């Protein structure tokens, strides 16, 4: 093994490489018992790395799970109010997995969880927005003009920010309700609900059905599955592209 210290810490699932540089600069990282402040420092086999007094080591194997998150579950690992969290659905043998991004309490569907800190960072970085698809049930029958506004982008949301172009596919149209699949690259807070609010069709129900190369498929609600080799390779390619573009350090 010969790894840069920040990468070693990120691969141990502690944080991103950039955040690891911050820890090194703060003097809370020890290599073989001595504080390291050199950001370029490398780690060799047999070296002992400690972060804030705890020994850390990259895992040989990371865990990558897909969860079909039920409604009324918070996307955190601990909830001070004692509500059900996504961690409650992770089999104990998988250890402590972190959610890749978040779904609202009142959104169900696909959430990826992993202990690969670098992957979490690459997949959630706003400059490298992975495409996410949501099945949205909307109030009212959507007219062509509203579709066009969403497809074109540039809708000003309630906080003054503008949306980027979205892909829209109509699944069902009824007199008082529409069902659409909407694909976006952004991940701002309550993004999909705010987009449809802005065009006058509030979201009644929201489910994430795809995250980049990973589809929800028929995974039962409240259960998890390991990502397939193929899905993992596709996610790793995304990570490598983010690395090559300097989005992830």
Tokens describing residue 112: 């990826």
Using rule CB under 6 A, residue 199 touches ligand URA: no
Stretch that binds ligand URA, among 50-58, 85-93, 156-164, 190-198 (CB under 6 A): 190-198
Answer yes or no: 104 catalytic.
Answer: yes
Neighbours of 158 (CB within 10 A): 9
Q: Is 233 left (phi over 0), alpha (psi -120 to 50) or beta?
A: alpha
Name which of 12 and 199 has its Cβ closer to ligand URA.
199
Stretch that binds ligand URA, among 99-107, 115-123, 148-156, 234-242 (CB under 6 A): 99-107
Using rule CB under 6 A, residue 155 touches ligand URA: no
Backbone angles phi, psi at 24, to 5 degrees: -60, -45
Name which of 122 and 206 has its Cβ closer to ligand URA.
206
Q: Can you spell out the DSSP letters for 136-191?
A: EEEESPPPHHHHHHHHH---B-TTS-BPPP-EEEEEEE-SSEEEEEEEES---TTH
Looking at the DSSP bridge assignments, the partners of residue 43 are 3
Q: Which residue in 47, 78, 104, 176 is the catalytic one?
A: 104
Stretch that binds ligand URA, among 23-31, 49-57, 103-111, 137-145 (CB under 6 A): 103-111
Q: Out of 100, 191, 201, 242, which residue is the one contacting ligand URA (CB under 6 A)?
A: 191
Q: Nearest distance from residue 169's CB to ligand URA, in Å?
A: 17
- In this structure, are residues 75 and 88 in contact, taking their beta carbons and an 8 Å threshold? no
- Please give the residue ranges that form the binding site for ligand URA (CB under 6 A): 103-104, 107, 190-193, 206
């Amino acid at each position: 093994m010969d790894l840069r210290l920040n990468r070693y810490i990120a691969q141990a699932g502690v944080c991103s490489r950039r955040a690891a540089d911050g820890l090194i600069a703060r003097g809370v990282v020890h290599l073989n018992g001595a504080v390291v402040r050199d950001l370029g420092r490398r780690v060799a086999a047999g070296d002992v790395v400690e972060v804030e007094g705890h020994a850390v080591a990259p895992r040989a194997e990371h865990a990558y799970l897909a969860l079909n998150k039920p409604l009324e579950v918070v996307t955190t690992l601990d909830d001070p109010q004692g509500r059900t969290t996504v961690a409650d659905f992770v089999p104990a043998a998988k250890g402590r997995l972190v959610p890749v991004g978040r779904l609202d309490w009142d959104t169900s569907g696909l959430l990826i969880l992993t202990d690969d800190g670098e992957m979490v960072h690459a997949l959630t970085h706003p400059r490298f927005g992975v495409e996410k698809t949501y099945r949205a049930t909307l109030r009212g029958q959507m007219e062509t003009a509203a579709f066009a506004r969403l497809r074109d982008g540039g809708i000003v949301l309630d906080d003054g920010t503008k949306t980027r172009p979205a892909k829209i596919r109509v699944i069902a149209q009824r007199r008082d309700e529409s069902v659409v699949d909407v694909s976006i690259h952004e991940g701002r807070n309550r993004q999909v609900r705010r987009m449809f609010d802005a065009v006058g069709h509030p979201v009644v129900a929201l489910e994430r059905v795809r995250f980049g190369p990973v589809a929800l498929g028929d995974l039962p609600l409240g259960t998890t599955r390991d990502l397939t080799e193929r899905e993992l390779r596709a996610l790793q390619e995304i990570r490598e592209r983010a690395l090559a573009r300097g989005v992830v350090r």
